Amino acid sequence: MLTVGRVHTVQVPDPTDAPGTPHVPATMNVLNRDTRLCISLSGRPSNIGTRFHNYLYAALGMNFVYKAMTTDDIAGAVTGIRALGIRGCGVSMPFKEDVLGLVDVVHDSAAAIDSVNTIVNDDGVLHAYNTDYQAVARLLAEHSVSGNHTAAVAGSGGMAKAVVAAVRAAGVTECVVAARNERTGRALAERYGFTWAPDLADRSPDVLINATPIGMAGGPDADTLAFTREAVDRASLVFDVVASPPDTPLVRAATDAGTPVVTGAQVIALQAAEQFVLYTGVRPADDLIAAASVYSRE
């Protein structure tokens, strides 16, 4: 019996696996009336989250299934989460702010930045969280980003809110929020004592972070760089939250320049692991999460 609310660390070793090779469980659960459904809502759904969560469900023998979706009626979709007993929902661009007024309980991680990336349905009560912030903060820490660095964040939407908050928490005091929308960009920048600008102009920050859909597969800017090539060449770290494709134009440009890169796939793996815990009450072991992350990108 799974007890939601109590977090258990679970490891499923497979001695037949070659080192570094994700094991795909041989037997998937058969759907039945007791199967719990989790979904994601995104403007441009990908298979990354679907493969990540379903890999873990299968590996742990859990009666869950995960499906990526999109909608042109976000209010109706959230009503459906409650009405249909959908256990959890990942929320991606462009819905992260839209759902704030549609849930019942907004937890600190979402309230602090006015942005939601996770909804958990507890018997008809919809709880909102933000695990993006946790993921970005951890990745910045792993790359030793601190008050010694300058930064630029492209965007002013829901994902940008999580990124800018994490940049400030890392100790950065000099950051430009580069956003086309002056109202939202200036408000976000001023909230954390940063500067707004419509673009970088001739600035050369140490850390460049794209928190817009620029470079996303299937979008109008799929082949566009979020920052100039000159800024990328001068940066000490380039960070792109776009996960599909994993090798966005920005990631490729940074790789060509020999600049350290953080990819959207890394963000998804970390934030999705925290979502998995919220949905199921189970925390998989780190190596199982790593295997799920590799599988999700194949």
For residue 291, pLDDT over 90 is answered with yes
Question: Can you tell me the mean pLDDT for 42-52?
Answer: 92
- Tell me: the pLDDT tens digits for 63-83? 999 999 999 999 999 999 999
Per DSSP, the three-state class of 63 is coil
| Structure confidence at residue 24 (pLDDT) | 54
Q: Do 45 and 154 have their domain in common?
A: no
Q: What is the pLDDT of residue 106?
A: 97
- Is residue 137 included in any domain, yes or no? no
Q: Say if 1 falls within a structural domain.
A: no
Task: Give the CATH number of the domain where residue 46 resides.
Answer: 3.40.50.10860
Q: What percentage of the chain carries pLDDT values higher than 70?
A: 90
According to the model, what pLDDT value does residue 46 have?
86
Domain that residue 162 falls in: 144-259
Binning pLDDT at 50, 70 and 90, where does residue 28 land?
low
pLDDT per position as a tens digit, 97-155: 999 999 999 999 999 999 999 999 999 999 999 999 999 999 999 999 999 999 999 99
Same domain membership, residue 120 and residue 40 = yes
Same domain, residue pair 271 and 250: no
Please determine, for residue 1, whether its predicted confidence score (pLDDT) is greater than 50: no
In a domain, 81, yes or no: yes
Q: What is the pLDDT of residue 22?
A: 57
Q: Same structural domain for residues 12 and 93? A: yes
Q: Which of 63, 37, 43 is nearest to 120 (CA)?
A: 37
**123 and 270 share a domain?**
yes
Q: Is 2 part of any domain?
A: no
Is the per-residue pLDDT at 5 higher than 70? no
Question: What is the CATH number for 202?
Answer: 3.40.50.720
Q: How confident is the model at residue 29 (pLDDT cuts 50, 70, 90)?
A: low
**Backbone phi, then psi, for 33, in 5-degree steps?**
-65, -20
- Residues with Cβ within 8 Å of 119's Cβ and at least 6 positions away in sequence, in order, are 78, 81, 88, 89, 91, 99, 103, 126, 127, 128, 129
Q: Is 67 a catalytic residue?
A: no
Active-site residue (options: 51, 96, 127, 297)? 96
Classify residue 60: in a domain, yes or no. Answer: yes
Q: How confident is the model at residue 179 (pLDDT cuts 50, 70, 90)?
A: very high
Q: Which pLDDT value is given to residue 105?
A: 98
Tell me if 231 is assigned to some domain. yes
Query: Confidence class of residue 268 from pLDDT cuts 50, 70 and 90?
Result: confident
Q: Are residues 255 and 273 in the same domain?
A: no
Neighbours of 75 (CB within 10 A): 12
Residues belonging to the chain: 298
Q: Quick one: which of 82, 76, 46, 49 has its CA closest to 65?
A: 49
Band (pLDDT 50/70/90 cuts) for residue 2 is very low
Distance, in Å, from the CA atom of 151 to the CA atom of 238, rounded to the nearest integer, reads 10
Counting residues of the chain whose pLDDT is more than 90, the rounded percentage is: 83
**For 68-72, 177-181, 243-247, which range has the lowest pLDDT when averaged over its residues?**
243-247
Task: Please tell me the pTM assigned to this model.
Answer: 0.81
Average pLDDT over every residue of 156-175: 96
Q: Is the pLDDT of residue 18 over 90?
A: no
Sign of CA dihedral 92, 53, 129, 251: negative
173 and 198, same structural domain?
yes
Whether residue 135 is contained in a domain is answered as no
Question: Which residues are CB-neighbours of 144 under 8 A, at least 6 positions away?
Answer: none
Q: Are both 126 and 149 inside the same structural domain?
A: no
Give yes or no: residues 220 and 110 share one domain. no
Domain match, 148 and 212 both: yes
The per-residue pLDDT for 154 is 98
Angle at 91 between CA 130 and CA 180, to 5 degrees: 85
- Per-residue pLDDT, 297: 82
Q: Name the domain count of the chain.
A: 2
Q: Is the pLDDT confidence value at 250 over 80? A: yes
Does a structural domain hold residue 193?
A: yes
* In a shared domain, residues 12 and 120: yes
Is 214 in the same domain as 250? yes
Angle, helix 264-280 to helix 48-59, in steps of 10 degrees = 40
